[in-house]
């Protein structure tokens, strides 16, 4: 199973590998000595791979120190130094599993178009395969398509859905979903929420109302707010995350469409700049292509 997942990860990251680690390998082969010019070129490749200036500078600084400490003289060996630095930067001891206790409630936030509803469907299918009892709540009530899409995914994953009419109060949907989750002894309640980031005040009020209901009606549940970001938007995804962090506490990131972009380096940037765990990554269109994010596997897949 691990090998199958790793192969899928490698295939999903092929565009990022072409634009990042393969380019670095080719560049290092052109150098005879490790000098400032080499580091400048390495920095440029990192920045153009959407790792971001701040993160790229930190990586270069750490690589320089490691090269000095390990007394590395061959430019080709810088590649392995870079790999070790990335693993150190990405890996942490924090709890990274999606569900560590039940009952759990997941609030899924993110702007329209990032793959929010699709991610919810895939999470539902993934958790159901782990023998969890799942319920979905269609609390993105301002977009009729969101309710319909979630219904399609609930059918596909064979899980129940609580929904109201378009335009109804999202907090009322969550209230009803919590009552249903408790009476049906559901393990995980997953709530789709609105993604109207252009109107922060409304979104903040709405999420505040939903959170109050969760605290009052479902205090025994472990609550997480997960933000869905589209990897193809690169550094814009980091900016989007910062805007959401102004509105609500974000416990984890779901990064979609990694297979469709050469900007997969944004994962490194998210970890370094935001210090929020990336919980899941999307590396394909299939229902089982949303994988738990393991930093070491991610780096290994880039360098294989």
Q: What CATH number corresponds to the domain at position 261?
A: 3.40.50.300
d(CA 95, CA 113): 28
Question: Given 57, 90, 123, which residue is the final one in a domain?
Answer: 90
d(CA 197, CA 135): 26
pLDDT at residue 261, rounded to an integer: 76
Q: Are residues 18 and 154 in the same domain?
A: no
Q: Are residues 140 and 279 in the same domain?
A: yes
Q: Are residues 39 and 152 in the same domain?
A: no
Q: Are residues 298 and 244 in the same domain?
A: yes
109 assigned to some structural domain: yes
99 assigned to some structural domain: no
d(CA 222, CA 232): 31
In the sheet where 104-109 sits, what is the strand order?
160-162, 134-138, 188-192, 104-109, 222-230, 252-256, 278-282, 290-292
Residue 2 has pLDDT above 60, yes or no: no
Q: Are residues 148 and 46 in the same domain?
A: no
97 assigned to some structural domain: no
Q: Are residues 83 and 114 in the same domain?
A: no
113 assigned to some structural domain: yes
- Binned at pLDDT 50, 70 and 90, residue 150 comes out as very high
pLDDT at residue 1, rounded to an integer: 47
Query: What pTM does this model have?
Result: 0.90
Question: Given 90, 124, 141, which residue is the final one in a domain?
Answer: 90
Lowest mean pLDDT among 29-33, 109-113, 238-242, 287-291: 287-291
Task: Kindly state the average pLDDT of the residues 28-46.
Answer: 92
How many CB atoms are closer than 10 A to CB 102? 15
Q: Are residues 112 and 86 in the same domain?
A: no
62 assigned to some structural domain: yes
Q: Are residues 239 and 109 in the same domain?
A: yes
Q: Are 219 and 253 in contact (CB under 8 A)?
A: no
304 against 225, higher pLDDT: 225
Q: Are residues 62 and 125 in the same domain?
A: no
Task: Kindly state the average pLDDT of the residues 71-81.
Answer: 91
Lowest mean pLDDT among 91-95, 203-207, 263-267: 91-95
| Count of structural domains within the chain | 2
Q: Over the chain, what is the mean pLDDT? A: 88
Residue 190 has pLDDT above 60, yes or no: yes
Q: Are residues 282 and 231 in the same domain?
A: yes
Residue 124 has pLDDT above 60, yes or no: yes
- Binned at pLDDT 50, 70 and 90, residue 96 comes out as low
80 assigned to some structural domain: yes
Residues annotated within the binding site for GTP are 110-117, 192-196, 256-259
Angle at 179 between CA 190 and CA 193, to 5 degrees: 35
What's the N-to-C CA distance of the chain in angstroms?
19
- CATH code, 51: 1.20.120.140
Task: Kindly state the average pLDDT of the residues 259-267.
Answer: 81
Domain limits for position 43: 2-90
- Binned at pLDDT 50, 70 and 90, residue 131 comes out as very high
Q: Are residues 267 and 155 in the same domain?
A: yes
- Binned at pLDDT 50, 70 and 90, residue 225 comes out as very high
pLDDT at residue 216, rounded to an integer: 95
pLDDT at residue 302, rounded to an integer: 84
297 assigned to some structural domain: yes
Residue 198 has pLDDT above 70, yes or no: no
pLDDT at residue 206, rounded to an integer: 87
Residue 134 has pLDDT above 80, yes or no: yes
Residues annotated within the binding site are 110-117, 192-196, 256-259
Question: Given 34, 64, 90, which residue is the final one in a domain?
Answer: 90
Task: Kindly state the average pLDDT of the residues 249-266.
Answer: 86
Q: Are residues 274 and 223 in the same domain?
A: yes
């Amino acid at each position: 199973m691990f090998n199958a997942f790793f192969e899928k990860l490698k295939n999903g990251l092929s565009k990022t590998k072409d634009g990042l680690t393969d380019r670095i390998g080719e560049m290092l082969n052109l150098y005879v000595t490790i000098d400032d010019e080499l580091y400048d070129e390495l920095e440029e490749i990192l920045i153009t791979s959407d790792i971001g200036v701040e993160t790229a500078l930190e990586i270069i600084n750490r690589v320089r120190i490691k090269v000095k400490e390990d007394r590395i003289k061959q430019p080709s060996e810088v590649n392995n130094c870079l790999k070790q630095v990335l693993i150190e930067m990405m890996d942490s001891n924090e709890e990274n599993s999606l569900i560590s206790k039940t009952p759990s409630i997941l609030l899924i936030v993110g702007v329209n178009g990032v793959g929010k509803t699709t991610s919810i469907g895939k999470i539902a299918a993934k958790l159901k395969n782990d023998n969890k009892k799942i319920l979905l709540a269609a609390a993105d009530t301002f977009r009729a398509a969101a309710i319909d899409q979630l219904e399609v995914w609930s059918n596909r994953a064979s899980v129940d859905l609580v929904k109201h009419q378009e335009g109804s109060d999202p907090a009322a949907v969550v209230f009803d979903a919590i009552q249903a989750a408790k009476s049906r002894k559901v393990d995980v309640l997953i709530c789709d929420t609105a993604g109207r980031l252009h109107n922060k005040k409304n979104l903040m009020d709405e999420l505040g109302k939903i959170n109050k209901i969760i605290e009052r009606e479902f205090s025994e549940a472990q609550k997480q707010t997960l933000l869905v970001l589209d990897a193809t938007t690169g550094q814009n995804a980091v900016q989007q995350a910062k805007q959401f962090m102004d509105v609500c506490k974000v416990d984890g990131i779901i990064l979609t469409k990694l297979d469709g972009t050469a900007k997969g380096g944004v994962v490194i940037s998210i970890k370094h700049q935001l210090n929020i765990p990336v919980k899941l990554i999307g590396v394909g269109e299939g229902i089982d292509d949303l994988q738990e994010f393991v930093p070491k596997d991610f780096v290994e897949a880039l360098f294989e």
